[in-house]
Every structure is written in C-alpha cells, then in structure tokens.
Amino acid sequence: MNYIRTLKRIRRHKTNYRKRELLLISKQNFITIKVSNQNVSAQILKPQIKGDIVITSVHSRELIGYGWRGSLNNIPACFAIGMLLGNKAKEKGIKNAILYIGNDPFTSRIGACLKGIVHAGINVPVSDKSFPDESRLNGKHIADYAQKIKTEAIEKYNRLFSSLLRGGLRPEDYQSHVKEISTKILGKSYFVSKPTKESKNILSKDVRNSEGE
C-alpha cells in the first residue's frame, strides 16, 4: 500500500488550494472575515503568489471609537464592521472585491458583514439571498426579545443583558443604536438597500446559509 503525502495545510484544513488557485487567477482583491467568540476581524487583500498584501482591515474593537455599546460579535456588530471596512476601502480607491472564506462555512454573521461592505458602496458579486433579514441586521430581534422578557421576568432581563445595561445601552434600543452608529460611519442615515438583480458569484459554491444566529 502506497502512502500519498498531502500538504500540512491541507491535513489541518487550513487551505483549500483549489479555491486559492482560482483566487490567484482572478487577480481580484478579496475579503476575508473571521468571527471569534468575542470579536470579529475583516480585511481586504490583494492576492500575490509570494504572499497576500493587506489593503485595509477592521477589528470590532474599532467600533467602540464610534460610540458602539453593543456586543462586538453579533449580527448588528458584523453589519457595522462591514460598513466600516467598506468605507475604509473606498477611501483607498477600492471599488470591487470578492469574498474568500476558504474552508470556513458561510454563516449569517459573515453574511451580515458582507452586507455592510456592500451597503458602504463596494461592489461584491453575491446573491441578496445570502444576507440576513433587515430585522436581524438592525437588531430588531434582540429588541423584541428584550422587551418580551422585560415584561415577563425582569430578573432574567437584567441577567441576560447585564453587560449592555452596564455599558449604557438598553437592548430594546438596539435599532436606534445601529442607526446612530451607521450614520457616524457612513455620514448618512441608516437604511438597507432594496434587493437588486443578483450577480453571478464566482465563489457561489462557498455560500451556504446557516441558521440559529
């Protein structure tokens, strides 16, 4: 029986070289989004054979400088991070980019961040079906749940949202808070653009909607 040697990054599921090859051939700037248990980071890079060049990047902690008082890794935060990255990219003259997630799954948080990037004015070939609903982007689901348990069990309300309340944000005000922060980032009132004609995504096989976020 012959042993077939595979690259270490393949064995550790860190790199999909088929997708990597397509990325290099495309010669397009690409977006990476990483979501951890506490934070989110996103970058726009230029692909190079010897190593990718970072054009611009954003970390969720940067939202604090805009007055953000919510979670740093939920769907509304990812949406705001996407807007911030898109705004930075425009300032550097970037108009187009593609999403590259490698072996990572496409989640609703990544979709929210990508929606923010598109909303900021960056052209990304992706289906609108990949984005979370507007009610989740602006935190309405959080506000509705908070209002419900506040009237039913105030102790549970105080326990679940203790970090938000300590930071001075009532969870039922999430929608207005997202509007306020997006205005600071983009210089215009919050809105979610209407669905447009879907573009063909060259990485469409990587896009898989997830539930429960």
The predicted pLDDT at position 194 comes to 47
In which residue are the tokens 């769907």 written? 75
Q: At residue 197, does pLDDT exceed 90?
A: no
Q: At residue 6, does pLDDT exceed 90?
A: no
Q: Which of 45, 125, 43, 46 is nearest to 84 (CA)?
A: 43
CA–CA gap between residue 120 and residue 193 (Å, rounded): 10
- Tell me the pairing of strands 98-99 and 30-35: parallel
Q: Which of 74, 84, 86, 78 is nearest to 117 (CA)?
A: 86
Report in angstroms the alpha-carbon separations of 98 from 6, 8, 47, 90.
28, 26, 11, 15
CA–CA gap between residue 99 and residue 31 (Å, rounded): 5
Q: Is 112 exposed, middle or buried (0-12, 13-18, 19+ CB in 10 A)?
A: buried
Structure tokens given for 167: 């930071």
139-175 pLDDT, tens digit each: 999 999 999 999 999 999 999 999 999 999 999 999 9
The predicted pLDDT at position 50 comes to 82
CA–CA gap between residue 153 and residue 156 (Å, rounded): 5
Q: Is 77 exposed, middle or buried (0-12, 13-18, 19+ CB in 10 A)?
A: buried
**What domains sit in the chain, N to C, each tagged with a CATH number?**
13-132+176-204 (3.30.420.100)
27-84 pLDDT, tens digit each: 899 999 999 999 999 999 998 878 889 999 999 999 999 999 999 999 999 999 999 9
Structure tokens given for 162: 């203790």
CA–CA gap between residue 201 and residue 125 (Å, rounded): 5
Q: What is the CA radius of gyration of the chain?
A: 19
Three-class DSSP category at 179? helix
Is 139 within 8 Å of 70 (Cβ atoms)?
A: yes
Report in angstroms the alpha-carbon separations of 3 from 6, 14.
9, 21
Q: What is the mean pLDDT of residues 112-141?
A: 95
3-state helix, strand, coil in the chain (%, to 5): 45, 10, 40
* Predicted TM-score (pTM) of this structure: 0.81
CA–CA gap between residue 39 and residue 16 (Å, rounded): 24
Q: At residue 26, does pLDDT exceed 70?
A: yes
